[in-house]
Amino acid sequence: MSPFADPSQFVSRLLDSVCSSAVPPYDRAMARNLLAEHRLSDSRFRIFSAFAGDMANFDLIHRAIERYQKQEVRPLAIAGVKPAYARPENENNIMETPPEYVATVLNLTRLGEIYGEAWKSFRIPEFQMYEVTNPRDSQQVNDFLSGRLTIPAQRESFLQATLRGLRRYRKKIQRNIRPTWVAEWNSLRPFLDPNRPERWLRAVGVASDDPAWLAVFRYPVRRRGKQIQLFRPTQLDAGWYAHHFPSPPEATGGGGHTMYLLHPGEILPDPLGLVSEYLHIEIDLSIASWRAAGSLIGMARRAAGTLDEQRSHHWLLLQENYGKSQILGWMPTCP
C-alpha cells in the first residue's frame, strides 16, 4: 500500500477527495498516482512528510513535491549529498538484477542554454554562430538545430560537438545533480521507427507540445568494469508530473513502466509491449552510444493526445499484462 493511502493519515482522505471526476484531469491524475505509489518506503515517506511540513490542502502537497524534486531529487552538487533516490530510505528500489542495456531519448531542443555556453565558455566552434536570444524559445533553438541536423551527413559531427558541450557544462557550470531517465533497450526498440521520431518521445512518456529534435542513445549498464546503479522510479522522483504512471505491485522483476502517450487514431506496434523504465545519476553520453542505438536523430513534430485518454489506455494495458483483478485491486478507477 502507498503510504499516501494510509487511512489513518489525513493526506489520504484529502487525496481521495481530489479523485472526483469534477476535478481537472492533471490534479486528479496526480492524486491517484500518489495513492497508488506503493514503492515509497515508510522511511522515505516520513522524511518527505517532515520536509513537506503542512499538507493541509492539495496546493500545499503540490508545492512540497515540486520543492522536494528541486532540492532533494536534484540536490546542489556543492551540498555533498546524494539524490533522494540514492539514499538509504530508497534502497528498496535499487535494481539488484538490472537489464544489460538501457536507452535514453535526449531532447536536443531543450539544451538551448548549454549551446550558448558551448561557445561563450568553452569555445566549441560549432556554436560560434549560435545567436538565440531566449534559450527557452523552442522555435529559435530549432531554427539553429535545423540548419545543422537536416542534412544527414552533418549530424554526427554536430552531435559530437553537442556531447562535448554537455560534458563540460556538467563538470564546470551545472549546479544540480540531475537524474537520467532510461528505458530497457529491448522494450523500447519496437517504438524506434526512424521515420516516426514523435513515437520515440511518446514511448518514454515525455509530453511535448512543441516540435523537438531528438537523439537516441543505447549503452550497457556495466561499463569499464563498473555498473551504473539503476533505481525503480517513484512519483517523488518524477515530481509534479502526471504523465508518469506508478507501477503495480505485480511488476516485481523490473523498474517502472512508461506510459505511452497515445495520439488519437494512432496505429501502434502489435503486440504492444510495456516499456520498462529506470533512473540513474547522470553520466556522460558518447557518440558510440548514439551509433549503438541506430544513429537515430529526428524531429518530433506532433503533440500527443489527452491525458485522460493516455492514462485509460495504459491502465487497460496493465490489466492485459498483469490481470484485471490485480490491477483493479491496486487502482480501481482510471483516469
Residue 174's pLDDT is what? 94
Residue carrying the nine cell digits 540514492: 86
What are the backbone dihedrals phi and psi of residue 100, each rounded to the nearest 5 degrees, phi first? -75, -40
Q: How many CB atoms lie within 10 A of CB 132?
A: 17
Nearest to residue 180, comparing CAs of 127, 102, 271?
A: 102
Residue carrying the nine cell digits 469534477: 22
Residue 315's pLDDT is what? 94
Residue carrying the nine cell digits 522511511: 43
Residue 269's pLDDT is what? 63
What are the backbone dihedrals phi and psi of residue 81, each rounded to the nearest 5 degrees, phi first? -120, 155
Residue 143's pLDDT is what? 96
Nearest to residue 250, comparing CAs of 185, 331, 333, 153?
A: 331
- Domain range summary for the chain, segments of one domain joined by +: 3-330
CA distance 162 to 127: 9
pTM of the model: 0.94
Residue 273's pLDDT is what? 80
CA 153 to chain CA centroid, Å, is 30
**Cβ contacts of 154 within 8 Å, gap of 6 or more:** 148
Residue 136's pLDDT is what? 92
The angle, 0 to 180 degrees and rounded to 10, between the axes of the packed helices 152-172 and 138-149 is 130
Residue 266's pLDDT is what? 76
**Cβ contacts of 324 within 8 Å, gap of 6 or more:** none
Residue 253's pLDDT is what? 75
Residue carrying the nine cell digits 545533480: 177
Residue 265's pLDDT is what? 74
Which residues of the chain have a pLDDT value below 50? none
Residue 225's pLDDT is what? 78
Residue 271's pLDDT is what? 64
